[in-house]
Structure 1
């Protein structure tokens, strides 16, 4: 018997004995806890990021190495709030500050060599791990960023001090006077939210916890706020400056400033511990930096006129959905699609109105043109039956012809299909090719390829895919009520 097999046999023996001891003495729920304690975690279950005792390697770059390379690699939060750009105009809060830092580095260069920024968008919860792996030199999250104890990173001088995390709800919803009144209620939170640790502290003093309702990874903080604004989600918790910024373009939001989960966090940039000169340069820049008065001009101009999702589950909307549900289910099933995705597309295209007429000859529930219908063998898209059949077959054709690869997860696959439905498959394929050339993930629409779509075509297609995705998620939350 090998040492490995002997170890596994001994481990199994110890586990079974320990579990038996737990079962004899503890409630059933605690048996599960015992199992989690004694069984080794699979690789996929372990926390991402550097191991304990991690030390910087050759990939750590201080200011001299950055200047020598001519490039400062900035890991940015991929959300549109933090780092978005539309047709050459910045809408992200970090974008202009980072460009000003680039100019500062070039003004203070002794040898005249210029440094250029390379922005690397990542999910917020992956930023620090990527920094420690040497994939970037600087982290600019645009939000509060929790740092685990022992991580070899250093925060810059604060961009904003003592930023509170506040509850945000929709106007007209019930008002709560104290956090304790939220016990048993849920807060919708985007992945990576700084509210996690604050909720743990608050819940330690409550008999019934406040529930953290973690949202789909395709939703950033601005998307969750939009869903609260529409009444699809009840409330969330975000940094006060973020809530105030988005309330300017989402006027039905209500900021409950008195309901603060925490007020001790500072918004900062981050560098590796082994890059003290870069940190010192950042701090000198931030000491004198003042945001321009028109910093949010492009943001306000873009978002005030942009389509915003509506509540899709009101009484009238449910009645409309019920009338077309059998047709949606039939043709979705025939093309291996989720019927609620078709419902979400129909709500965005026509608010579930089979008689809707659009531009360019688009018609019906899914606003498909006669030419597109004929391309999938449907002669008459003017009837409800023909319209849904044509739309479902057209989506399936795009999926089969362009996005069938196993490299896509299903939500990203359908996001690309929706983008192609709106923009045209060839344009989307060209965007993916450009994403690959620029170091973005060509198989991820949300926050990756969509960045290039916003740069090239504006926010139209980005908003379109995002809205259908939000309606799909909203319907999916009520699937058990919507299906017979």
Structure 2
């Protein structure tokens, strides 16, 4: 079950003796965090995030129901904790002397720093020392902590850095990282953890040059809950070298994300005329059974797994059709059956048909398919949010191109994902936009190849 995103406006009344034993009696752990690509987000209608997955393991180990409270911004995290709106902050809180009178730092700790993001394609010369930044154009968001750090670095170097400013109201730091990957700008600065995560999306960037002093960060609880702090410390000391924790780190900060398969034309050339894959008979059978063009099913399977029945994505989606385990289970498919081609394709066809039918009121068949594909990739919650935003701001909620797709991309910005009409929070929408375009383009190519 997806935990409800909550923005609490009043403090909970708790007795002065409220610590981990009382939390265990209540059977609920309330966690304050942020909607970001590294801490907590919803993808394919499932809760995810590096910090979320860790606190979920702690909660499960102690038999606790996890309740997620989403703060609006970093500055509100400590205020919400001190106001008893949650039991702990599961986010990288800076370890500062001024806060030690209010907080107990505990659980996972990290050393954060800002890094230079630069393109690293063949022929690019990588900068390896901050002194090499002199005379270079460095793009930062106006008013951001990165602008402040680069100004300080400029003074430390005696001048010479050429700072270029972009609007922080319409862009986030991950937008600038994408711009570096595309060659639109040469350098930007980002949080080290955010840069590492984005390197899993953009393999042509380098994030190795540190440009700031180290800042230790950690989770935090109120000083009045030392037993909870001790429990988190003991738990993390035990699991931080365990295989499942190392897999978690690899999942978010090492495994490639997005679609990086070979070109579709390479695969088409492998098969006889009229054939699209080794699994065409199943695509045809279950496409007919559920009323979905079998060539569309083949296109989805190619973009999910390049027809690999044993494939598994970073997010946990498995098999040809890239079904999330919870989605597969809702269709009667679980365990190793998820990786049996026939059963997987049947479930994928059934699920895609269910999504297409969800948008029956749209009326236009192609728009139904596009909205269904967006939901297949990103989740119904985010597509629902984007349609609500489109309707609120005068766009057409029933048209994908230039309308719903625009607002699903805007859900990366705080002013949009915190809009009252949104229920699913932050979303990195560019992958979903690319997915819809690529699946539809390949589907059209398949229809040309096989009439």
TM-score (norm 1): 0.46
Query: Whose Rg is larger?
Result: 1
TM-score (norm 2): 0.49
